[in-house]
Amino acid sequence: MGYFRPYRRKAYYYETDRMDIVHHSNYVRWLEEARIDLMEQAGCPFSVTEKMGIVSPVLKVETEYRYPVRFGDEFEVRSRLISFNGCKFSLEYEIVDLTTGQISCLAKSSHCFTDTELRPIRLKKRFPELYENLMKAAENG
């Protein structure tokens, strides 16, 4: 799935529910963690973009749960930038158990770039370097 290094981590106890599996809401948190990591790898780290007055709100998240992750399981989130038009972008994700190789979750998310007042920003015009970084990432994704 693309050329980005997968985001890896372990499932923590506090993320589990009464059924001894990770609660479904935590998968969305992991997608967010992986998105932040991907954006850093793509040359658009949030630590920089937010100082520039750019935020990227979530527009949509879709998840398909396939196999449960349990406390202590090691997994990776494989992320891919599938579209970018200068203002909006979308990613696909696979959450994969590192021991079994099973896919635990497939997901997609959509986002946009806005200023801090939530007005859309066209990166090509206002931040051409960030635009170029993301265009390259989308082409290689």
115 included as an active-site residue: no
Reference 81, options 28, 2, 5; nearest CA is: 2
Q: How far apart are CA 32 and CA 109, in angstroms?
A: 9
| Options 17, 20, 73, 97, the catalytic residue | 17
Closest among 73, 12, 7, 16 to 36, alpha carbons compared: 7
Interior/surface letters 68-105, b for 16+ CB within 10 angstroms, e for the rest: bbeeebebbbbbbbeebeeeebbbbbbbbbeeeeeebb
Any idea which residues carry the catalytic annotation? 17
